[in-house]
Structure formats: structure tokens, C-alpha cells
Structure 1
Amino acid sequence: MPQRHEHPVLRVATYNIHKGVQGVGPTRRLEIHNLGHAVEQLDADIVCLQEVRRMHRREERHFAHWPKQTQADYLAPEGYESVYRTNAITRHGEHGNAMLSRWPVLSHQQQDISDHRFEQRGFLHSTVQVVDRVVHVIVVHLGLVPASRVRQVVQLLAFIENTIPTQAPVLVAGDFNDWGTGLGRSMAQAGFGEWREQPTPTFPSRLPLNQLDHIYARGLKPIHAMVPMGRIWHRMSDHLPLVAEFTWMD
């Protein structure tokens, strides 16, 4: 079996892709093809995605080049495994969280954390075999209401405590929708850290003012984080991707 030092750095990305479409009304444009190239350019071992379409009947009729595959499968670079689970069912389709992995996916499950009837929310928990380690990856997309986000983080941390072994490496990545620092403090108190040596704002993509997207880790040491910038990136989604690198704690 390969030794751990043969893959000393784990590169992780999180990206809210805005369902692969930008703009509103008749001027909206399909960006899923550009997003496919973008995800490949991130060159991450694990890519955590939010607002991913499984299907949407109206958009499929509107856009001549709507992919035949689900968006998660379409965005997965060659050789990656894709995992998708639905958060929200709407009139014309459904969307949710996805994870793309360069390493073998051992298992996955969805947890419903909807806090009220106006928002359907959830997180995707997967286990990934990275050389000789099993890494737990949780993709989250929290609600728009501040009190809901607090309760959802409580549910998330309770799930981790009750389900995941204490010594296992854990990544929690996604769109936290949080303009403050309270949720970050809750994650830190539970033993999760992130790279904070320089600002990494991700929203809104055209003029990023705040970091709504985060990659927290327990049992892994953050060593770097960055946000790709430029016109090509802010055209594809209302969020920018966040990319972080981690090393093993031992």
C-alpha cells in the first residue's frame, strides 16, 4: 500500500455554482460548461459543490446545450467520482449538494437540516479513502435566517460527535451564508480550524466583500487558502470558489 508521505498535501475546494445559470429572465445564460473547465483548473483532490442541479425541466427546454448528465457527473473531471444528494425539490426540478473526489468514495449519506418550511436545507456526508486514511467530508449549505444557521450548526456538530470517530480527519466545507463570526467560533470550539492568515472573501463574486464559504478541518492542519479572481470567475456564479490546502497532523 502507498505510504502517507506520498500524498502529503490534501487540496480541497468549495464552490456554490448557482445551479449552473447566471442572470435573470430572458437574459440568463448557461455557465455549466465554463464551470466544468473551472472545476478542472482548481486541481483539487476534493471539490465540494452547492446549488447543484440534478434536473430542471424548464431550464432543459430553454437551453439548447443543457447537459444530458446530471450537473455533478458533468462537472467531475476525468477520473473523479461524483456524489450528489438532493436538498430541495421545486416545481420544475431539484438541486442539492455534491462532492467530487480524486480518491475512492467509500460511503455517502444525506442529512436533512431544514429549519422551517420555506427553506429546504441539508448536508452531504461522505467518507473518502486518501491513501491509507479515511477522511470524512461534509458538504453544507446553511439557511438564510441567522437563527436557523445557529440551529443547523448545532445539528451538524451533534451529528459529527455522534457519528464520526474522534480521531478521524474531518472536513466541513460549503456555503455557510454567514456574514458574521459566530458560526466560526462555534466550529473552533468544536475543534475545527481554517486558514485565516489573510482575508479570503468569496461573495459577491463581482466585488467580494465577505467570506460566506468556508473549509473547516479537524485532524488536518490548514497551510494555505486562496480565492481565484478575475472576470472569468465572477461571470460563472455569484460566489467565488475557495481553495484550501491541508497536511496530516502526524
Structure 2
Amino acid sequence: MYHIYIVEDDQQIRRIMADHLERYGYRVTWAENFETIKQEFVAIQPDLVLLDINLPLYDGFYWCRQIRTVSNAPVLFISARTDDMNQVMAIENGGDDYITKPFHLEVLLAKVKSALRRSYGEYAHARDIQQTVRELDNLYFYPDRNELVYNDAKLELTKKEFLLFQRLAESPNVIVSRDELLETLWDEVDFVDDNTLSVNVTRLRKRLQELGITNAIQTIRGQGYRLDVNWGGRSS
């Protein structure tokens, strides 16, 4: 079942679209908070986005660019703007297609099917083209390339640095024992000096400082470490 994310602030239009798509077996989620579209996208990992241009706070062009930093999922613009320039801007900002309002629901359905087929079906090379990405407090991390992105700054970690960060991020604000972290980083734990873990944690702290994130990894004496996920509220 393909998952479709609708970003449309007109409640009647999004309800009509959702009802029609659900009738044909699609799973539909629509945006409620127009300040956190990118975070919501990452959280639900939809297969396709239906995106209006006229939105509160930021327009659809902005949100399409944000989505493109974390995913290759097809984005179909839906707008009452019929001029060529807006259609050109939609494509230049990362959109895959453009549907003008008012539209027939069968046209919408056909374009959705076509986009999904190109991206994931018979015309796609592989379904895994969509990047794997997670998000914590506006920090995005990519397990497929050991990379962190925060405030548009990118940081490439070593394999062990990323494994350490990822394990802590799996349990944000929760203590992870030293034994668990040792097992995450090394297969033969019995042959690893306990001080080696401390060295790796110190190195990861220094790498995070390159993104302006300080004091995120807390040492809990006698127990382990905790990732304090509140860097968005700190000054660097």
C-alpha cells in the first residue's frame, strides 16, 4: 500500500483528495502543522507528496526544496496558479509534475499512479532510490552514508562514529550502558579496552561541535552515556 502525504491548507480540497485516493487503496496522511512539513515528512516516510503552492508561512516551492534534501520521493504540485512561470518554478524546485486547480479526480489519480510507477514500479531501476533518513530536533542523519546535517551544515562521520551516534539516537534522553555501546562498535568485546569507548565518545563530541552542537552526549557515571536531544534550544 503506497503512502501519500497531502500538504494542502484547504480542508475541503484535501478531504476530497484523501477520500478518493483511499477509495483506490492508498494510505493518506495530510499535514496539520505547516511549520514542520520536513520533520513530518521524515517521520512518516511517504511514497509521494501532493503539494500546494500557497501555504501558510512558507510556500510549496520552499517545502519541496526541503523535502529534496532528504528524499527522492515524487512531488506533485497542485495549485490554482496556471501561468507557465509557476509550472517552471515547480520543476526547478524539485517537483515531478504539476496539476492545476480545479482538476478532475481521475486526472489526479492517473498522475499519482504514473509517478508511483516511474519511481517504484515497472519503470523504476530500484525502489531503494529514496534515501534513508532520520531526524532528531532538526538534526538529520543518513545511515546509508554516515552523514549528519544540521542547519544546512553537513558532517561526514567515520563508520564507528556514526554507529555510536546512531545507537545513542535510537534511545534519545535515555541512558545507554557502556556494555551496549561496546557491543555496537565491536564484535569481540572481550578484547576491547574499556578506555577505547571513552576515546570514541570524546571524538564524537568533538565532531558534533563542528555542527555547533555542544554537550549533547552526557556521561552518566557508573552507567553509560545519554544523548540529550535539546540542541535546538542551545546556543552554539
TM, length-normalised to structure 2: 0.29
| Structure with greater proportional helix content | 2
Greater RCO, 1 or 2 (C-alpha within 8 Å, sep 6+):
1
Structure possessing the higher radius of gyration over alpha carbons: 2
| Structure with greater proportional strand content | 1
